[in-house]
Structure formats: structure tokens, C-alpha cells
Amino acid sequence: MQLEDINTVAVLGAGNMGHGIAEVAAMAGYDVNMRDINDEFVQNGYDQIEWSLNKLAENDQLSEEADTVLERITPLVDMGEACADADVVIEAVPEQMEIKKDVYGELEEVAADDAIFATNTSSLSITDLAEVTERPERFCGMHFFNPPVRMPLVEVISGAESDEETLDVIEDLAEDFGKSPVRVHKDSPGFIVNRILVPLMNEAAWLVSDEEATIAEVDSTTKYGMGLPMGSFELGDQVGNDVSYHVLEYMHEVLGDAYEPAPLLEEKVENEELGKKTGKGFYDYEDGPGAEIPTDEQSDLVEARLLATMANEAAKLIGNDVAPPASIDEATQLGAGFPDGPVKMVDDYGLDDLLETLEEAAEQTGYERYEPADYLEARAAEGGFYDQDDDDEGVDFETIRVEYPAEYVGHIVIDRPHRMNTISDDLLAELSTAIDQLSDDDEVRAILLTGEGDKAFSAGADVQSMAGSGADPIEGQELSRAGQQAFGKLEACDLPVVAGIDGYCLGGGMELATCADLRVASERSEFGQPELNLGLIPGWGGTQRLANVIGEGRAKEIILTAERYDAETMADYGFVNDVVDNDDLEDTALELAADLAGGPPIALKFTKRAMLAGRDDTDAGLEYEASAFGHLMATDDLMEGITAFMGDGEPEFEGN
């Protein structure tokens, strides 16, 4: 079967995951039969989809009418009606083997012989589930993350007998749903994301059970030291302590004592303190303030143990050919919002140090979970999971991408969509390197700067990592300088720079956009310098450079009020050069950059320099202008420009 052969998708189960998957499939244009065991369940799921589609439409995030999408979904109770015509059946019924077995028994009786079955299980074995069907080769895992409509990741998991064609077509289907599939090559408990996260949360709980750390220390370290989106216990409360506990029990049963649940976790489940959903877990959400995590209780021991746990799990996944390092990193970033992938994090920390941490802990405690995987030992000797000499092809960026979408255009994409493209120290350093790289490249004559995704160009400085770096004034000053310098490099670079702004352009994001030469924005974009709301000032050049673009009056208004402004207003203020339809932003910004790239490179360079030189000193600017004008007289570009003008042709400037 090919993607083109899929018209009808059946989704079994109309609960949280089931109705979310049905919604995603319908949004991608498929006819969807959503089935549950009674009218109430299926109607409930349908109502939730209706609510969600209307919300998306309200927020301009739906490309067609909500009703048009809803009409593609048929709520059903009868298994035959739901599945007889389905090309793909996605099963999302409760996570109990017996229930799933019954469902597959019923399904086999009505489904077409060539239909593919995909299970959304997050914990059961794909191979075991496939065995209860008569088509294990046309069966695989298709694991969505909650809520499916928002979360980009789909793990596509091979069972022992899944054939390549099945996996390929389910991967294509996930892509057609607008998701990012990551292949899991072997059926292994927890697949990728849960295999990293659940042992991490368990290790956190063991550290507290064994009185090696407090909850505050663990969460302060996880969130502010390691820069993960949440503290380990905060995450546990979010996921549900019963859910993590059951996944752990399953891992414990299949993989052995290294996955024994920590007493603290067990206790929470026994006391029904399951997290946010019960109002209390590790934190109290009803009678207390919820997860209030201190920024200043970070602990080296906690960091080393948590990273060592991730390193050991990654080693087991990579060493057993479940997934390569890049897939583990991609899946965990997409599925759990990690700013860096876990494999990259442990490589950066040093695998040999983490191996030592495990060995010492194993000796001290005798716990099996600290036994290092063989593959970890092997890679520690090689210096890391990633090949250490992989990057001699050029610079490898983590927080940005550099692409070449058109002749003479270098495109820098701010690539942290899971964190609203916020700007970290690393990003500042990489941006600076990328500007140098593009400036030195003879094949690049204009820079286009955008943010990944349609949510944000950039929501500014990464406030979380700023909070994590403590209250050191000297470090703060250095951070401000680093931003001023990186953005200043863009402003002063010899190439024309176009910022394509789609979504939020706030704080440091707006200070960055200010350093572009031209700004194009989508209608939905929002601008602002909200730093004063945080008790800060725009510290990456905003107090100086914004006034250069829009005048001091408007700059003061924007900075002092800390209000948000729509794109049209920012065009009126002279900040945005052009406002375009949301769908046209990418093409318009690229066209503009390509157009500038076709201009005379030397004259462009001199123009930028003259304007910058004259910003605070008109005489100096005029002097530079005169000298540049003189220099240009002797260029081939001038001859090319004049000849083309006289002959009514298009000039082809060489930059000579």
C-alpha cells in the first residue's frame, strides 16, 4: 500500500488520544471513522473535537472551516461499519492487553485483508499485540503524544514482523498528518521518549527516597541547571504518577531490576497523589502553590546521576539498534521539549565522567540500575555517542540552521520551535558564527533570517535559562554584551539582511529583528519589548537601536509600556516594511532576500557602511559616502549597471 491508496482512516477509541488522532487525520483531509464502545463515549470524543476545531479556527490555525473538517469524521459504535472500508486502522483503546486483544479479535473479522493496523500503545509490546492479529507484517506502532493536535512527534515502531512497506507508509501518513515521525527500529519497552523520561523520573525519586537529595534540589537542577523544560517531579505530576509507575512496572517486568520503581513513587501511587489530575502529587496544586521550583538549589550530584541515567538508557537504545543517536535526540526534543537532545547533552557533559558516576554509584549502593551498559563503556572510550570527527564538513549548529534556499541567499533559521525560538547563550554564539560564515562565503550575497514554525520568530531571551544562571551581575552583564555583539554583527555585516517575521517577535527577538535591514511580517505577527514587565530592560541593544529605526518617541512608547503590537501598527510605526498574508510570508521574504542578493554587492556593502557610519555622526557618514562613491567609479559592477541600463537589460553584478 502507498500513501495515495489511503482514503479512510478508522480510529478505535474516542478518548483523549483517540479523538485527538481522529481530529489530526480529518484536518489532513482523510475521511475518519471514529469508533468507541457506546454512544456516550463516541459522542463525547466528537464534542471534544468540535470544541478543539473551533478553538483552532478562532486562533487562525485552521486552513479551512471547522465544520468542513468535522464533516469528515463519522462517530460510530459498530465495529463493522467503522472498519470495513478503512485502509488504515489506528487503535487507541485503553492500555490493557486483554482489552486490546478483544478489540483486535473483533477487528480482524471485519477489516479488509490489506488494511494496515497501527497501535497507539505507549507501553505494550508491538510484537505481542501483532501476534493477536492475522497480519503481523501489516502491523506496527504509531505512537502519538498528548495532545496529538499540538505535539509534533509520532514514534513509528517496528514489531518483530512488521514489513518495511508498512513502516514506510505509516511514516508517510504521519508526515501527511503534519507530524514529524521518528522510526523506532525495534520493539523495546518505552520506545524512545518514555525510555529516556521514565527512568529519569525514577532516578529522581530514588535520589529522594535514599535521602541523597531533596525534591527542591532535584527540580532546581533539572529545570535550571540542565535546562529541561520542567523539573523531574514537576514532569511526573504532569504525566501522572500512576502512568509513570505502570510504565516502570512493565519495564521492571520485562527488563529487570534496574527499573524497580522508587519507594517514593510507589508511595505517591498508593496514596492516590497522582499529580495535577488529583490536585496533589509531589507538589500540592489545590491547597498549595503547585510546582514552585527554586533557581538556586542546584546540585552537582543530582546532575551527574540524572545525566548518567540518561546516558545508560541511550546506550541501551543505541547499542541494541533500537534507534541511532540523532533519532533519540530528535524524538526527545519533539516529544518532551528538551532544548538539546539527551545524547548531545551527555556527550557534552563527557561520557567518561558519566561512566565513572555510574561505576561509583554501583559500588556504593549495589543497585542494578547503576550497572553501565556495555555500549556505554565502548562509547566512553571513543569520546561520545556521536562520532567525534563527524563535523569536519563545516560547522554543525544545534540551535539554528543555515540553509541556501536560492542563488546567493544564505538563510539562518532560529530552530528552537519547542521553546518559541527563544534565544539562549548557545544560540547567540551560533548566530555569531553563522553570520561570519555567511559573510565569508562568496556564494552568499544576502541573508534571510526567520524562526522555525509559525508560532514565533522569537519570543526573546530564554527566561528559564536566564533564571537558572543565578543572580550574578557580572554574568548578566556578559550576557547583555554577548547579545549586543551578536546582533550588532548582523547589523554591521556587509550583506543585506531580511527578517521574515511570522508569529511572536518579542523582547530579544525584536532586538534581533531590529538589526535586520528590512522586515517583512505575516498578518498574525505580534511585536513588543516586554522586558519591563519582567523587571528588566531590553538588554540586547533595544534601548539604543529601536529608536534608530522608528524614532525615539515610538521606541519609548514600545519599551516603556511593554505592550504588544500587531503587524499593521508596526508597519505604521515604520518598523515593518511589508505585512503579508500568513501563507505568503515565507515566499515574500525569500523573494525580497533573493532580489537584494541580485544587487551590486560592493555598492550594497558601501551603502550599509555609510548609513551606519553616519548614524551618530552625519559628517563621518558623508565622508564615507563620498569615498565609497569614488571607489565605485572604478568597479566592473558600475559598468555592468550602466550597460544594462542603456541596453534595457538586467544587470548581472559580479561584485568586482
Ligand X SMILES: C/C=C/C(=O)SCCNC(=O)CCNC(=O)[C@H](O)C(C)(C)COP(=O)(O)OP(=O)(O)OC[C@H]1O[C@@H](n2cnc3c(N)ncnc32)[C@H](O)[C@@H]1OP(=O)(O)O
Can you give the binding site for ligand X, defined by CB under 6 A?
Answer: 229, 337, 419-420, 422, 459-464, 483, 504, 506-508, 530-531, 534, 536, 538-540
DSSP string, 172-205: HHHHHTT-EEEEE-S--TTTTHHHHHHHHHHHHH
Helices (H) and strands (E) in the chain, counts: 28, 18
CA 16-266-198 angle, to 5 degrees, is 55
Which C-beta is closer to ligand X: that of 47 or that of 478? Answer: 478
Cell of 256: 529487570
Q: Count Cβ neighbours within 10 Å for each residue of 350-384 and write b for 16 or more, e otherwise.
A: bbeebbebbeebeeeeeeebbbbbebbbebbeeeb
Burial class (CB in 10 A: 0-12, 13-18, 19+), 163: middle
Cβ-contact 472, 438 below 8 angstroms: no
Q: What is the rounded CA–CA span in Å between residue 78 and residue 622?
A: 80
Closest CB 423 distance from ligand X, rounded Å: 7
What is the largest distance, in Å, between two alpha-carbon atoms of the chain?
A: 86
SS3 88: strand
Sign of the torsion angle spanned by Cα atoms 79, 81, 84, 89: negative
Contact 531, 564 (CB under 8 A): no
CA distance linking residue 107 with residue 69, whole number of Å: 26
What SS3 state is found at 8?
strand
Cα angle value 495/459/504 (rounded, 5°):
85
- 143 in active site: yes
The residue annotated as part of the active site, out of 19, 143, 411, 418, is 143
Task: Please tell me the distance from the alpha carbon of residue 149 to that of residue 170, in angstroms, as a whole number.
Answer: 17
Task: Please give the DSSP secondary-structure letter assigned to residue 455.
Answer: S
What are the residue numbers of the active site? 143
